[in-house]
Structure 1
Amino acid sequence: MGAAKRRLLATAVACVVAVLAVPGVAFASPEPTPSVSAPGKDLEAVREQLDGLYHDAAVATDSYNAAEERARKQSAAIVDLAKKIVEGQKKLDELKKRAGAAAAAQYRSGGLPDEAQLLLSDNPQQFLDGAGRVLQGERAAKGLIGELTRTQEDLQQYATDASAQWQKLEADRKAKESARKQIKKQIAAAEKLESRLEEKEKERLAELEREAAYKAQSAWLGTGVLDEIKGSASEAGKKAVAFATQQIGKPYEWGAEGPKSYDCSGLTSQAWLDAGHPIPRTSQEQWKQLKHVDIKDMRPGDLIIYFDDASHVALYIGDGTIVHAPRPGRTVTIAGAGSMPILGVVRPDA
């Protein structure tokens, strides 16, 4: 396929899916959207305000997901430490029994140390045999004392580590709750703002959203970037794309990782988990930890990270398009790769 045709296809796909993705739009009607009472500039301001509210909700969602991921790891670490403490206590009890048995044996021999009993012996062979046993006994005693000391130190360290993990877990619980409140606050504000609009105003607002996405995608394609993107998907990338596209139509839900709903990074992380490559849970950690690649080297399956704060992520599927979970009130859908400000591209299976 020629470069010009690829650009045309990408633009056409972006336009079609944008129409299909926005609720309340009459796809078959050739008639233009009727004008509404509110001035266009006012609705444009509403659109920008909604974008800001949903963006802030996305940032809070990333914080919530990050705290949730840390809490999972901390809980697992606490369970592991608890097992070590139980095992260590059993070992310590056994060592104490051995030490007690040694003390009882010494008591039965008259309370004299082995060294003293050896010096009192008048049998040369007994003396020589006893010297070896004393040496062995000293080594065994030192080994037992050393093992007791190490086990007690290990138990103390396990307890200290467990206490630290509990403190971190509590901090992340608070961070999760704070993020949860922020998410609900931002979404409630957006829903309240939209509820004030009349039906025709909502239709016009949806049209403004499509126009903004189309304008951004057209500007991106206008740079000729699609002429340079020729990479083919890896086998794992094909599996990730297949998984993500199978989720099309499922609702966005913050904090969700499927199978019935997803947030943006929940979709991408599950797609790559299905492909056999576990990746970080959040878009910000995906940006931080995965290999960065130039846009011209992008291939299907790669992740495109959006906005300066890496608050959104989508999976590139080829021909200038992505599949992603956009925001609350929307479903997993296909869109133009350049319809939002691109921060960069990362590759999970580099």
Structure 2
Amino acid sequence: MASHRSPRRTPLPVHGWPARVTVLSAAAASAAALAPGSAGARPADDPARPSAATVNSRIDRLYEQAEGATEKYNATAESAGKLREQVETVQDRVARGQAKVNRLRGELGGLAGEQYRSGGISPSVALLLTADPDSYLDKASALDRVSSRQSLQLRQLQAAQRELKRQRTEATGKLADLEQHTRTLRKQKRNVQRKLGAARRLLHELTPKQRAERERASREGGRGQQSGDTPDLGGDRASSGRAAAAVAAAKSAVGKPYVWGAAGPSSFDCSGLTQWAYGKAGTSIPRTSQGQRGAGKQVPLSQARPGDLVVYRDDASHVGMYVGNGQVVHAPHPGAPVRYDPVGMMPVSSVTRP
């Protein structure tokens, strides 16, 4: 009699899922690291020293590149998460399929044994059994003594075995895809870290006064207003109740740190903030800024209403939420917390109303 015990589902391999890495505040870290006269800082009058404008331009470009790389990382992480769920589903089906095969084998073996013991066979077969018991099944088959019930169970067992093989092949393929996504995540993570590290090193090229000026300009956003202040949002009304709820959630995150790859509730990157805000409003939108660009109706910037997603740059590598009165709430870059800024702070690619 075959064992009826169902197999355990094979656990997922441990891949060391890439941890989300908190990016330290670049401005704060550099200010602490380089006091006037610190080792490694070049004198302000060094003729080989690039101008503050040049350094700031390079830093901004690195942040832009890092943000694009972060959105690629987010997209890969989202795909890997879906693959992980699919692998678990397929492995569950494999476990159930193996249990079915075991059960059918047991039933078929039990039926054959019962038939043998009961003597429910013709005298001619009984004589054959007496002469050579070891060849019972072969001779019984040759004499067409396999019952219709046995035939049905044999077909069921064969079908179950074929399906189990297909499911195992599917699971193997998805596991291979998951391994590839994990390797891609590690590569993208290193790419982001390199660009952010280069930006931090460039910050060290600035004098303490220049760093303070950069930080002040970054926080003011060209409006003469600190990020901790709440701007006058005017009388603009959201396009829907859920949009209004998303705006309220985004505003509640003002002041929380930027962390690449983070989607709340204590830290955010740009698309993580908008996804989290709409999630708090009961609406699911894609994880990346590129995905969010296509997550609703496109409207002209002149018709933007609170709750609309403002996507920036041709590659859609940054996104913020319009909150009215020409303002967005967004997670800018490492070292800058979630804050209000003018909607035209950088080139607008599109405006989407989820």
Does the aligned pair in 1 maintain the 2:236–2:306 contact within 8 Å?
Answer: no
Alpha-carbon distance in structure 2 between the residues aligned to 1:336 and 1:113: 94
Partner of 1:171: 180
Specify every segment of 5 or more residues in structure 2 that has no aligned partner in the other structure, as ranges: 1-26, 29-43, 127-143, 224-234
1:311 Cα deviation from its structure 2 partner = 0.6
**How far apart in 1 are the matches of 2:297 and 2:169?**
36
Tell me the secondary structure at the aligned position of residue 338 of structure 1.
coil
- Aligned counterpart, 1:67: 76
The match for 1:195 among 155, 179, 204 is: 204
Number of aligned residue pairs: 282
| TM-superposition CA deviations, 1:37-69 (whole Å, max 9, x none) | 799x93222222111100111111112111221
Secondary structure of 1:254's counterpart equals coil
Higher alpha-carbon deviation: 324-333 or 62-71: 62-71
With normalisation by structure 2, the TM-score equals 0.71
* Structure with greater proportional helix content: 1
Q: 1:235 aligns with which of 238, 241, 250?
A: 241
* Amino acid of the structure 2 residue aligned with 1:333: R
How far does residue 143 in structure 1 lie from its aligned partner after superposition? 3.7
Separation in 2, partners of 1:165, 1:288: 27
User: In the alignment, is the contact (CA less than 8 A) between 1:213 and 1:340 conserved in 2?
Assistant: no
Matches within 5 A, 1:35-184: 42-108=51-117, 110=119, 112=121, 138=148, 140-184=149-193
- Matched-pair contact (CA < 8 Å) for 1:321–1:334: yes
- Bigger CA drift: 102-111 or 298-307? 102-111
Contact 1:62 1:283 in 2 (8 A): yes
> CA shift at 1:207, angstroms?
6.2
Give percent identity, aligned residues only: 36
Q: Corresponding residue for 2:292? A: 286
After TM superposition, the runs of 4+ consecutive aligned structure 1 residues lying more than 4 A away are 36-39, 109-114, 206-214
1:314 counterpart SS class: strand
**Equivalent residue letter for 1:57:** A
> 1:4-30 CA deviation, whole Å, 9 max, x = no partner?
xxxxxxxxxxxxxxxxxx99xxxxxxx
The C-alpha deviation readout for 1:306-346, integer Å capped at 9, x for no partner, is: 11111101011111110000000100000111111111012
For the residues of structure 2 that align with 1:143 and 1:100, how far apart are their CA atoms?
13
Offset at 1:78? 1.4
**What corresponds to 1:248 in structure 2?**
254
Identify the structure with bigger relative contact order (alpha carbons < 8 Å, sequence gap 6+).
1
Cross-structure match for 2:322: 316
Q: Which moved more, 1:266-275 or 1:298-307?
A: 298-307
- Aligned CA RMSD, in angstroms, stands at 3.2
Q: 1:283, 1:276 → 2: CA distance?
A: 19
Distance 1:70 1:313, change over 3 A: same
User: Could you tell me whether the CA contact under 8 Å between 2:55 and 2:205 is conserved in 1?
Assistant: no
Structure 1 gaps, min length 5: 1-21, 24-35, 118-133, 215-228
Aligned counterparts of 1:104 and 1:213: Cα–Cα separation in 2: 87
TM-score by length of 1: 0.72
Secondary structure in 2 matching 1:46: helix
Query: Partner of 1:8 in structure 2?
Result: none
